[in-house]
Amino acid sequence: MASSHATILGIGNPLLDVSVEVDPAMLEKYKLDANTQYLASPETLPLFKELETNPKCKKIPGGSSQNAIRAAQWLSKTPKFAAFVGCVGDDEFGKNQRDILVSEGVDCKYEVIETQPTGTCAALITGKNRCLIANIGAAGFFHTAHMLKPEIAEVVEKAKITYCETFFVTVSMEALLMVGHNALVHADEGKLFAMNLSAKWVIDGHLKCLLELIPYSGCVFGNEDEARCFAAGMGWDEKEDIITIATNIAMLPKLAPQQKRCVVITQGSDPVVMAVAEWGVGEKEGEKAPLLPVGGGDHRGKVQPPALPSSSAKSSSETQCSESQYYPERHARVTVSTFPVQQIPKEQLGDTNGCGDSFVGAFLTALSKGKNFEECVHVANKVAQVVARADGCVFPPTCEIEV
């Protein structure tokens, strides 16, 4: 039975991944090189029109938040469990993308504009080589006013969890602050705002925006490169050890300190690192303490992380390593855990495109169903493994993973 309203809402840039085998002559035509990534230019834009009518194209919805929402929907097994907001063009690619999302059960809340083409990422395959050309297109022209439409405002109001990629800070920071504030207002009801560090260029160019969003967050996701880039941007002394960095992010200011904050850093095939900060607690397990304001200064303070093995250490254990540290001056405790990742045999490995996004979607789905953070990581790892065995961010027709 379909959900009466979406439990998880995603906001971001919907990009249709378009993959096709081509003759090397097409690369020559557009002056492109194999195994190279490009942003679309006036010279390469006509290529997208060619692909639009090419029957051999494999078209898969993409974009970070959209991938996460598709994973959440697949894992939930409930129609319209997850919803997505973003902007597409009034064209075949936009229609293709909407049709796929709807067929997968996602409650698709696109804004559709006529002035720009749907955002796409073209993968031109020549033999075993790939040439990638990204055209953000309509996704970059999202109007904040779309969030104020009654049908969108209702989804925002009723969702338990709202998730955003921070690529979107260059599109509509206002929209992200709107959903962050909505989560803050309803924090006592368990509503959660989750976000992703997304990319090094986002952190390098838009750190101020991230620091505006993080105080609203109950969950922050990223990979090891993004975490280290964030630490460097913050000017922290420790810029390499992921455990220390995750701990420092977890202890950043929080506007709803009655909620825990969970920071999850994935490292490919190396262990997942998770830091969970909890405020208003005493030194003894189960003991309460006054809830202190979590803020002040320039938000760049550092804390001493729990004494765990180095995050770069390999582990073959099936169980996670976990330790906690109490900070009496903040009435806070941070618990850091590491989770080994099951290795996939090379012959079973597809590609890693969308694995991190799928991890996030699965984690948030498990969280919405009452699982604790540790259980959420285990479920997320299983879903990421499914995607890692596929070519692109695609899912089997049925989900055999239980939440």
Q: Which residues are catalytic?
A: 357
- 381's CB contacts (< 8 A; 6+ apart) are 272, 339, 341, 342, 359
CA distances from 150 to 86, 145, 146, 192, 342 (A): 16, 11, 9, 21, 44
Contact 334, 262 (CB under 8 A): no
Q: How is residue 15 annotated by DSSP?
A: E
Q: Among 140, 180, 105, 163, which Cα is nearest to 395's?
A: 105
- Closest residue by Cα to residue 256 from 212, 291, 287, 210: 291
Q: What DSSP state is assigned to residue 20?
A: E
Strand partners for 277:
261, 334
List, in sequence order, every beta strand (DSSP E) within 207-269: 219-223, 261-267
Residues 267-301, buried b or exposed e (16+ Cβ, 10 A)? beebbbbbbbbbbbbeeeeeeebeeeebeeeeeee
Q: For residue 172, give every residue at least 6 positions away whose Cβ sits within 8 Å of its Cβ, in sequence order, or none.
A: 142, 143, 144
What would the two tokens of residue 184 be? 């803050």
d(CA 389, CA 231): 32
Q: How far apart are CA 85 and CA 156, in angstroms?
A: 10
3-state secondary structure of 176: helix
